[in-house]
Amino acid sequence: MSRVGYLANFLLWVMLVSPAFAGSNKAKLAGNLPHDIQTILDDPESAHGFWGIYAVSLKSNKTIFALNEDKLFTPASNAKLFTTAAVFGLIGPDYRFKTTVETLGSLDKYGRLNADLVLVGRGDPNLSGRGLPYNMHTDRKAPPIQVLQQLADQLVQHGLKYVDGDVVADDSYFVWQRYDEGWSQDDLAREWGAPVSALTINDNVIFVNIMPADRPGERAFLNITPFPEYYKIDNRVMTTPQGSGPRTVSINREPGSNQITFWGNIPQDDPGFGEALAIEDPADFSARLFRQLLEERGVTIYGRTRTRHTELASTQTFSITSMASGGGDATRPPNPSPLVLASYQSQPVAEDLSVINKVSQNLHAELMLRLLGKEKGTTGSIESGLEVLRGFLVNAGVKPDQFVFYDGSGLSREDLVTPEAIVTLLRYCHDQPWALSYEDTLPVAAVDGSLAERFRNTAAAGNVKAKTGSLAHVYSLSGYATTHSGDHIAFAVMTNNSNMSAKKALDTIDRIVVRLVEDKK
């Protein structure tokens, strides 16, 4: 055999017996975590997106997997992890909100109030029919306006019969900033983009149920609760014959408008559907509804209905004036203490933090951001809340150049955060006295919240507690997991700029998380 032939045979032999080429080693490669995750991401649809993944053992502090962990991503609702953690750490889980009905006047023996009747909100997110504590799903068996009804009943029991002044809805506890920077106009008419107010009734939405009429050619039935008089309704939805195809119903409300237009078709055999639509001014809604409830109980009101807001400019002017005068005008007499005629106290804030993370409730997260500003900052504004949040995160060890927040819910397209920042936060929370309470606010895989339908019949079912996040072309999942070997890990999986379907994106994320839980070497 020639030297060349001998060399060729030798190389062939090396290739056949070498572990790098041996067929038996494919199983070993298939059990390699980086290889497996990269295989998942190499799918043609997934490969077009930008992915960030970071997973760390909470026992050993060792990195399990890292990919673009220091790159900035739009987090979507993963931002709620930061807001709720700050409330646990700075406000505390036992904080309670108080809503009152007050007056600067007096109530005489005949039941006549000689001044305004003021409904004062202080940020309670659950002046609604939502059942607490959260148990597997949102329970709304109680009337959506039950708290206002209770307050109205208290006033009547207190002897109120006549109000000479106005009915005032006061949400000045927080600055009047209904929407945050980076929110899309398309979101503002829907439940997930409801306006923020310190006086929040029924999540600042009305419920609309749409049903087909009895006969084709007739307008569909619309049922609106809890206060149908608030909006002017233009119903153009027509009932079509049975089997005429899927319903095509559109809804529109222009910003600043109190008119909602419904149009389209709904087949006669359609079961109907419901929508939750945002109201325009929560305080105005509350004032008008509260007046109606009082009049239904026999109270005569001679004044009008109005609101009391705190504008951002006025708070800044007040702050500057106070500083210049050494803390205010010492010669000005103090404001008289109001007379509280009725009150309502919330359950501990920890109960609502579960609602925020389990079902990804945007409005409640925004109220928590403003609460941080009010209680630990300078005022109940977005800016003050974000400043407090920033200080909390830096103290928790999150690098300042790894996050930028413009809201507390993640609805803003301008929010940015790295996977590393999320995992750093999760590790910090894991070491706090409130660690278990915080972790319990997160959805459980295949069990409840926004993960109830995900991870079923997988290794992650019941072993993952994590916060979901989604916007158009943005998907994320971050939280804690217990692996097959018993390790407890913190992880973040994020993708941006993806043009795959939502189902494909979520399936890809879920496959990655399942692989982390399986924790094969």
How far is 205 from 191, CA to CA, in rounded Å? 6
Place of tokens 């959805």: 443
How far is 494 from 470, CA to CA, in rounded Å? 10
Number of H helices, E strands in the chain: 14, 21
What CATH number has the domain spanning 98-345?
A: 3.50.80.20
Tell me the DSSP string of 321-368: HHHHTTSS-TTSPPPPPPEEEEEEEPPPHHHHHHHHHHHT-HHHHHHH
The pLDDT of residue 27 is: 30
Helix spans in 343-477 (H): 349-359, 362-376, 382-395, 419-430, 435-440
CATH topology identical between 27-92+348-518 and 98-345: no
E strand or H helix that includes residue 286: helix 282-296
Cβ distance 493 to 513 under 8 Å?
yes
3 state SS for 234-261 = EEEEEEECCCCCCCEEEEECCCCCCEEE
CB atoms within 10 A of CB 284: 20
Long-range contacts, stretch 61-68, CB < 8 angstroms, 24+ apart: 61/427, 64/33, 64/489, 64/491, 64/516, 64/519, 65/33, 65/34, 65/37, 65/516, 67/37, 68/419
Written as six digits, the tokens of 196 are: 């923020």
The pLDDT of residue 24 is: 32
Helices 146-157 and 282-296: crossing angle in degrees, nearest 10, is 50
Pairing of strands 464-471, 474-482: antiparallel
Q: Is 277 strand, coil or helix?
A: strand
Angle at 180 between CA 254 and CA 167, to 5 degrees: 70
pLDDT in tens, the chain (521 residues): 444 444 444 444 444 334 433 333 233 333 589 999 999 999 988 888 999 999 999 999 999 999 999 999 999 999 999 999 999 999 999 999 999 999 999 999 999 999 999 999 999 999 999 989 988 888 888 899 999 999 999 999 999 999 999 999 999 999 999 999 999 888 888 899 999 999 999 999 999 999 999 999 999 999 999 988 888 999 999 999 999 989 999 998 887 888 899 999 999 999 999 999 999 999 999 999 999 999 999 999 999 999 999 987 655 544 333 333 333 444 445 667 999 999 999 999 999 999 999 999 999 999 999 999 999 999 999 999 999 999 999 999 999 999 999 999 999 999 999 999 999 999 999 999 999 999 999 999 999 999 999 999 999 999 999 999 999 999 999 999 999 999 999 999 999 998 899 999 999 999 999 999 998 76
The pLDDT of residue 313 is: 60
The pLDDT of residue 124 is: 98
The pLDDT of residue 361 is: 97
Cβ distance 177 to 203 under 8 Å?
no
The pLDDT of residue 301 is: 98
Q: Is 477 strand, coil or helix?
A: strand
Domain locations along the chain: 27-92+348-518, 98-345
Written as six digits, the tokens of 282 are: 């929560």
State in words which class domain 27-92+348-518 has. alpha beta
